[in-house]
Amino acid sequence: MDNEYDIGLITNLASNVATGVIIGTNEPFEIKMREEVKQSLSRYMVVAINLDHTDFIYQQ
């Protein structure tokens, strides 16, 4: 079964944008943070990211 997400490491938070790299490939990502979750994100946090690297996977 294939993963439905990638794992990333946030390396910077600025101007409502989280930037970082995908773990394993070092591919960079840049995701606009949702207003309701930006306080819960931090630098060097490991996060789940959708496969097109446009949004985080949020727990329901």
Could you read off the pLDDT of 3-57 as tens digits, one per residue?
A: 799 999 999 999 899 999 999 999 999 999 988 888 899 999 999 999 999 999 9
Q: Residue 1's pLDDT is what?
A: 46
Reference 6, options 56, 59, 48; nearest CA is 48
